[in-house]
Amino acid sequence: MSQIDRTLAEAARAWPFEEARKLVARTGGTAPAKGYVLFETGYGPSGLPHIGTFGEVVRTTMVRQAFRRLSDVPARLFCFSDDMDGLRKVPDNVPNKEMLAAHIGKPLTSVPDPFSNEHPSFGAANNARLRAFLDSFGFEYEFQSATEWYKSGRFDKMLLAMLRHYDEVQAVMLPTLGEERRATYSIFLPISAKTGRVLQAPVIKTDADAGTIVYRDEDGSMVETPVTGGNVKLQWKADWAGRWFALDVDYEMYGKDLIPSAELSAKIVRILGGKPPEGFNYELFLDEEGKKISKSKGNGLSVEEWLRYASPESLSLYMHQQPRRAKRLHFDVIPRAIDDYLSLVEKLPKEEPARALENPAWHIHDGAAPANSAAGVTFGMLLNLAGVANTEDKDVLWQYLRRYVPGATPENAPYLDRLLAGAVAYYQDFVKSSKKFRLPTEREQLALQDLLETLCKMPEDATAEVIQDEVYEAGKRHFAKEELRLWFKTLYEVLLGSEQGPRMGAFIKLYGRDNVVKLIERALAGEDLGKAA
217-229 pLDDT, tens digit each: 999 999 999 999 9
Q: Are 163 and 227 in contact (CB under 8 A)?
A: yes
Residue 297 pLDDT:
56
> Does one domain contain both 239 and 112?
yes
Distances (CA, A) of 461 to 99, 206, 375, 464, 514: 67, 85, 17, 9, 12
pLDDT of residue 1 exceeding 60, the answer is: no
Q: Per mean pLDDT, which range of 15-29, 209-223, 363-377, 494-508 is the poorest?
A: 363-377
pLDDT of 134-166, one tens digit each?
Answer: 999 999 999 999 999 999 999 999 999 999 999
Residues 308 and 335 in one domain: yes
- Domain boundary among the residues 282, 314, 342 is at 282
- Does residue 61 share a domain with residue 16? yes
> In this predicted structure, what is the pLDDT of residue 291?
77
Domain assignment of residue 265, given as a range: 3-147+160-171+235-282
Q: How far apart are CA 227 and CA 215, in angstroms?
A: 11
The pLDDT of residue 299 is 57
Query: Do 269 and 410 reside in the same domain of the chain?
Result: no
Q: 401: left (phi > 0), else alpha (psi -120 to 50), else beta? A: alpha
Contacts of 352 (CB under 8 A, 6+ apart): none
The pLDDT of residue 116: 82
In-domain check, residue 108: yes
Write phi, then psi, for 100 (nearest 5 degrees): -65, -40
Dist. CA 227–CA 191, nearest whole Å = 10
pLDDT at 370: 80
65 & 164 share domain? yes
Sequence-separated (6 or more) residues with CB below 8 Å from residue 34: 248
Q: End of a domain among 335, 364, 393?
A: 364
Looking at the structure, tell me whether residues 267 and 303 fall in a common domain.
no
Vertex 208: Cα angle to 204 and 214 (nearest 5): 25
200 and 207 Cβ atoms separated by less than 8 Å? no
In a domain? residue 248 = yes
Q: How confident is the model at residue 494 (pLDDT cuts 50, 70, 90)?
A: very high
**Long-range contacts, 152-156 (Cβ 8 Å, 24+):** 153/228, 153/229, 154/246, 155/228, 155/242, 155/246, 156/228, 156/229
Overall pTM surpassing 0.75 (yes/no): yes
Provide the pLDDT for residue 373: 66
- Examine the pLDDT at 337 and tell me if it is beyond 90: yes
Within 8 A by CB and 6+ apart from 320, the residues are 58, 59, 62, 360, 363, 364
pLDDT one-digit tens code per residue, 428-469:
999 999 889 999 999 999 999 999 999 999 998 899 999 999
Q: Is residue 192 part of a domain?
A: no
In whole angstroms, what is the distance from residue 350 CA to residue 369 CA?
A: 10
Cβ–Cβ under 8 Å, residues 370 and 347:
no
Q: Are residues 117 and 142 in the same domain?
A: yes
Q: How many Cβ atoms from other residues are within 10 Å of residue 307's Cβ?
A: 15
Q: Is residue 529 one of the residues assigned to a domain? A: no
Confidence grade of residue 298 (pLDDT, cut at 50, 70, 90): low
Alpha carbon separation from 108 to 86, 198, 439, 491 (Å, rounded):
6, 10, 62, 58
Domain total of the chain: 4
Give pLDDT tens digits for 229-278.
999 999 999 999 999 999 999 999 999 999 999 999 999 999 999 999 99
Q: Classify residue 417: in a domain, yes or no.
A: yes
d(CA 242, CA 265) in angstroms, rounded, equals 8
What is the C-alpha separation between 266 and 277, in angstroms, rounded? 8
In a domain, residue 369? The reply is no
Separation of alpha carbons 390 and 384, rounded Å: 10
Q: Is 9 exposed, middle or buried (0-12, 13-18, 19+ CB in 10 A)?
A: buried
Burial profile 259-283: b = 16 or more Cβ within 10 angstroms, e = fewer: eebbebbbbbbebbebebbbbbebe
Element (DSSP H or E) covering residue 491: helix 484-491
- Looking at residue 295, its pLDDT comes to 58
Residue of higher predicted confidence among 376 and 289: 376
* Beta-carbon count within 10 A of 132 CB: 10
Using the 3D structure, point to which of 262, 282, 302 is the last residue of a domain.
282
Beta-bridge partners for 253: 280
Residue 290 and residue 276 share a domain: no
Q: Which pLDDT does position 532 carry in this prediction?
A: 60
Tell me, yes or no, whether 220 lies in a domain. no
345 and 301 in a single domain? The answer is yes
- Which pLDDT score, from 0 to 100, does residue 389 have? 87
Contact between 38 and 247 under an 8 Å Cβ cutoff? The reply is yes
Range 487-505 average pLDDT = 93
Both 490 and 505 in one domain: the answer is: yes
DSSP letter for 140, please: -
Q: How confident is the model at residue 314, as a pLDDT?
A: 96
Q: What DSSP element (H or E) covers 79? A: strand 75-81
178 domain residue, yes or no = no
Give residue-wise pLDDT tens across range 404-420: 888 899 998 999 999 99
Instruction: Check residue 218 and report its DSSP letter.
Output: T
Element (H, E) at 285: strand 285-286
Query: What pLDDT is recorded for position 4?
Result: 56
Q: Is 313 in the same domain as 335?
A: yes
User: Which stretches within 142-290 are classed as H helix?
Assistant: 146-152, 156-164, 166-173, 179-182, 236-247, 259-272
Residues 307, 456 within the same domain? no
Q: What is the rounded distance in angstroms from the CA atom of residue 416 to the CA atom of residue 196?
A: 53
* Helix 484-491 vs helix 464-476: crossing angle, to nearest 10: 120
Q: Do 79 and 134 form a contact (C-beta atoms < 8 A)?
A: yes
CA 94 – CA 113 distance, rounded (Å): 10
> What does the pLDDT average to over 41-55?
85
- Confidence class for position 375, pLDDT limits 50, 70, 90: confident
Break the chain down into helix, strand, coil percent, rounded to 5: 50, 10, 35
Torsion-angle region of 196 (φ positive above 0: left; ψ -120 to 50: alpha; else: beta)? left
